Copies of this chain bind each other. A is one copy, B any other.
Amino acid sequence: MPLIVQKYGGSSVADVERIKNVARRVVDAKDHGNDLVVVVSAMAGDTDRLLGLAAKISDAPNERELDVIVATGEQISIGLLSLAIQQLGHKARSFTGAQVRIQTDTAHTKARIVSVEVDRAQQALQEGAIVIVAGFQGVTAEEDVTTLGRGGSDLTAVAMAAALKADVCEIYTDVEGVYTADPNIVPEARKLEKISYDEMLELASLGAKVLQARSVEYAKNYTVPVHVRSSFNANQGTLVVQEDAEMERVVVSGIAYDRNEAKITVLRVADRPGIAAKLFGRVAEANIVVDMIVQNISQDGTTDISFTVPKSDFSKAMSLVNGVAKEIGAQQVMGDDRIAKVSIVGVGMRTHSGVAAQMFETLSRENINILMISTSEIKVSCVIDAKYGELAVRILHEAFGLAERRVVEEYA
């Protein structure tokens, strides 16, 4: 019997009526002859409510205890969904992360999965039950409750699918799948039938919030086919799968767009070993995540370093970097939080040249100045003035012909 792992997020189980809807959907899949493992998040709002209670007691709550508190959200969801499925006349059995069992390291609030045991889940499946698993949570070797970080329920679903060798891991969301660009910006954006793990990883890390990045990595490592689809209808969504020859012939699969970063430039830094380490060491100590880093070639023994940080950390980062700049004898620090990052992503870039050039040319045709460039094997990102962000997404979508499903040979 085919085995499907389904994952429903907090908004899909936000209240009793929606939980009943999920139950009907699950039972429908079961009635079509599948074994079912269902991973659920906490009811929307519950996690924030619990965090709020903890925040009333402590500004910096102990993370072990925070996990104990927050993990109750998913535990409530699994019980309620099991009841709703049983009410429809099917067998269902709930499991917490500790029960199922998802063992993690001890990094509370952002634990990493160490191993997944599925004996109990498999036994329940053999008895004909639908297995309901609490997302987002695990347990240490010492039986302490852990959580996997925001979006961790995706990871739970993929990890269960990997351990059970499921035929597919279905992630139900409030969008129809993965698009060539944000349909709110590009009306012609097309839903992708399939996309490779690497492309999805780039899109996830570039701000397309359909799938948590770690869950995509995990799916890639265990070759779990992931189906991103809507919880509001039965339409096919987007399959995230291993790269194949056909995918490689598509040069650009999608355009990502991120308005949540700010740029900091340190001017005329002495170009000698240890300077960059000192600068970024300090930024890291302050728990500020740096995304792009660009350093130009040295002139007169000095160089300019530019990097981006989350907009929410911009002012904190600016005052920090101003301090470090003095220590390392830099001339000046400049900041800009009105920027946008536009990226083209596609595994086809590995085997096609001229893609970056076409991107730059497309932007320049509209007189859009490029402030920073960063590339990976399958991605080119440009930081530009925020006011041109949406225009850039639209013209790149057009230039790379993404509205049409087509295989581009011209770069070969």
What residues make up the interface of A, taking CB atoms closer than 8 Å to B? 16, 19-20, 50, 53-54, 56-58, 61-62, 64-66, 68-69, 71-72, 75-76, 78-80, 82-84, 86-87, 92-94, 96, 98-99, 120, 143-145
Bound form: Cα–Cα A139–B54 in Å: 26
A320 CB to closest chain B CB, in angstroms? 28
Query: Which one of B58, B61, B71, B80 contacts A75 once the chains associate, using CB atoms below 8 Å?
Result: B71
Given known pairs A98-B98, A99-B143, the reply for A80 and B54 (CB within 8 Å) is: yes
Q: Which residue of B lies closest to A139 (CB)?
A: B99
Max chain B Cβ within 10 angstroms of own Cβ: one of A71, A79, A82: A79
Compute how far the CA of A99 lies from the CA of B54 in the bound complex, rounded to whole angstroms.
21
CB pair B75–A79 under 8 Å, yes or no, is: no
Determine the distance from Cα of A61 to Cα of B81 in the docked complex, in whole angstroms.
Answer: 11
Give bound CA distance, A92 to B58, whole Å: 14
B99 x A83 contact (CB < 8 A): no
Q: Which secondary structure characterizes the binding site on chain A?
A: helix
> How many angstroms between the C-alpha atoms of A66 and B83 in the bound complex?
8
Give the residue name and chain of the B residue nearest to A59 (CB): B87
Given known contacts A57-B83, A83-B54, is B65 in contact with A75 (CB within 8 Å)?
no
Contact of A68 among B57, B78, B145 (CB under 8 A): B78
Which chain B residue shows the least CB distance to A16? B56
Residues of B close to A71: CB separation below 8 A: 75
Q: Which of A19, A58, A92 has the most CB of B within 10 A?
A: A58
A183 to chain B, nearest CB (A): 35
Can you name 5 A-B pairs with beta carbons within 8 Å? A50-B76, A53-B76, A54-B80, A62-B82, A65-B83
